[in-house]
C-alpha cells in the first residue's frame, strides 16, 4: 500500500483579476436541515469566507424561517444574484408554490445554482428541483424518485434495483476520481486525489440528466454500495447552470482543500460558464489529504481536536476479475 500523508494547507488567497468589471453577486441561503448534525449555521460562515477570499464574489446571506416560522415575508429576489448557493435542506411543504415557481423562472432564465451536501436531500417531490440536482437522497425517496445512478464502464449508468435513496458510512477519507477533465471546473485537477474525512453519499436516486465530473468508490466495508458514486456533477435547467456536490457534512469536511477549490470554481462557473481561478499547489494528491487549518478552526468542535476517523487511511479492495466468456 502506498504511504498515506496528511498535510495542512496554508490559507491561500486568490486575487481578483485586474480586468474584472464587477464582482459576481452570490446568495447563500440557509436556515434549516433535517437534523442537528448538519450544522448549517456553522457552515455558512465558512462558505462565505471561501468566496470572499477569492476576490471575485459579493456575498449575501439569507436565512429562511424555520419549520413553523412565518414565511409571509420570505420572497427572495433571485434575479439580483448570479448564483444561489443552497446550504439548505427542507421538506416539500416548506416553500409555497409561488416561491418554487419564482425559483424555477430564475433558473430557466439563466440563473446559477450550487448545492452543498444535504441540499440534495431537500424537496423530494418538487420535480423541477430534482431535475436541477439530478439525484437526491433521504426524505422518503425511493425508486419512485428515479433509479440509483452510478459510474460504470466509463458511463453514467442506471441501477434499477428498488429501495430507499441515500446511504453513507463512517466519516473517513476517500479517493476521488476525475471523470471529466475538460470541464472548466475540473481543468488542471489531478486524475485522482484524497478527500478528507467526510460522509460519502451513495445510492442517490433521481431523474439523472447530469454530467458527472468526479466520483468516489463506496466501499461495502464502510456500509457502502460497492459502486463508483457521483460526487461532483453539473446539469442545465433551462438556461441555468447547476453544480451539485455531495460532500461537506461539517466544517472540517468543508475545509478539505479539494472541497474549497471546487466550491469556488463551481460558483464562478455557475454564474459565468467560465473558471479563472488557478489550482493551488496545496491541492491533495492520490496519497495526500490536505485541509485548510484556518477553516477547520471554525468548527464548533475544533477544540476537541481532529477525529481520528477523519485521518484513517482507506484501503480500496481489489475488484474481482471478470468471468471468462462461456465456451460456445
| N-term to C-term CA, the chain | 40
pLDDT in tens, 267-316: 999 999 999 999 999 999 999 999 999 999 998 877 765 554 555 444 44
- Beta-strand pair 172-178/24-30: unpaired
* pLDDT number for residue 230: 98
Contact in structure between 64 and 119 (CB atoms under 8 Å): no
Contact in structure between 33 and 44 (CB atoms under 8 Å): no
Task: Kindly give the residue spans of alpha helices, DSSP state H, lying in 89-226.
Answer: 97-108, 127-133
Q: Which residues contact 177 (CB under 8 A, 6 or more apart)?
A: 191, 192, 214, 215, 216, 217, 228
Contact in structure between 33 and 118 (CB atoms under 8 Å): yes
Domain ranges in the chain are: 22-311
* pLDDT number for residue 203: 97
* pLDDT number for residue 307: 56
* pLDDT number for residue 301: 79
Residues of the chain with pLDDT under 70: 1-21, 304-328
* pLDDT number for residue 251: 95
241 phi/psi in degrees, rounded to 5: -105, 140
* pLDDT number for residue 8: 53
271 phi/psi in degrees, rounded to 5: -85, -35
Indicate the helix (H) or strand (E) that contains 45. helix 40-54
Contact in structure between 101 and 43 (CB atoms under 8 Å): no
Q: Quote the DSSP letter at residue 230.
A: E
Report the C-alpha dihedral over residues 102, 241, 14, 298, rounded to 10 degrees: 60
* pLDDT number for residue 49: 98
Cα–Cα distance measured from residue 136 to residue 131, given in angstroms and rounded to the nearest whole number: 10
Specify whether domain 22-311 bears CATH 3.40.50.2300: no
Cα–Cα distance measured from residue 145 to residue 137, given in angstroms and rounded to the nearest whole number: 9
Amino acid at each position: 500500500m502506498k504511504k498515506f500523508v496528511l498535510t495542512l494547507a496554508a490559507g491561500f488567497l486568490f486575487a481578483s483579476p485586474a480586468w474584472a468589471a464587477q464582482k459576481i453577486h452570490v446568495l447563500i441561503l440557509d436556515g434549516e436541515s433535517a437534523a442537528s448534525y448538519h450544522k448549517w449555521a456553522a457552515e455558512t460562515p465558512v462558505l462565505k469566507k471561501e468566496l470572499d477570499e477569492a476576490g471575485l464574489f459579493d456575498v449575501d446571506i439569507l436565512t429562511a424561517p424555520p419549520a413553523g416560522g412565518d414565511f409571509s415575508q420570505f420572497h427572495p429576489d433571485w434575479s439580483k444574484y448570479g448564483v444561489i448557493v443552497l446550504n439548505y435542506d427542507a421538506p416539500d411543504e416548506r416553500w409555497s408554490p409561488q416561491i418554487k415557481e419564482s425559483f424555477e423562472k430564475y433558473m430557466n432564465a439563466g440563473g446559477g445554482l450550487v448545492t452543498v451536501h444535504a441540499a440534495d436531500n431537500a424537496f423530494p417531490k418538487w420535480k423541477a428541483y430534482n431535475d436541477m440536482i439530478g439525484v437526491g437522497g433521504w426524505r422518503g425517496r425511493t425508486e419512485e424518485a428515479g433509479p440509483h445512478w452510478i459510474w460504470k464502464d466509463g458511463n453514467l449508468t442506471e441501477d434499477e434495483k428498488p429501495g430507499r435513496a441515500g446511504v453513507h458510512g463512517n466519516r473517513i477519507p476517500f479517493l476521488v476520481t476525475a471523470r471529466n477533465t475538460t470541464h472548466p471546473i475540473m481543468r488542471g485537477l489531478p486524475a485522482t486525489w484524497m478527500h478528507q474525512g467526510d460522509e460519502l453519499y451513495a445510492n442517490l436516486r433521481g431523474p439523472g440528466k447530469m454530467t458527472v465530473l468526479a466520483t468516489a468508490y463506496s466501499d461495502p466495508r464502510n456500509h457502502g454500495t460497492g459502486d463508483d458514486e457521483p460526487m461532483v456533477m453539473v446539469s442545465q435547467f433551462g438556461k441555468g447552470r447547476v453544480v451539485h456536490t455531495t460532500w461537506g457534512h461539517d466544517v472540517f469536511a468543508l475545509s478539505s482543500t479539494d472541497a474549497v477549490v471546487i466550491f469556488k470554481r463551481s460558483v464562478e462557473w455557475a454564474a459565468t460558464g467560465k473558471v479563472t481561478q488557478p489550482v493551488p499547489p496545496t491541492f491533495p494528491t492520490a496519497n495526500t489529504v490536505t485541509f485548510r487549518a484556518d477553516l477547520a478552526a471554525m468548527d464548533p468542535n475544533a477544540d476537541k481536536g481532529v477525529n481520528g476517523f477523519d485521518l484513517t487511511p482507506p484501503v480500496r479492495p481489489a475488484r474481482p476479475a471478470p468471468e471468462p466468456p462461456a465456451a460456445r
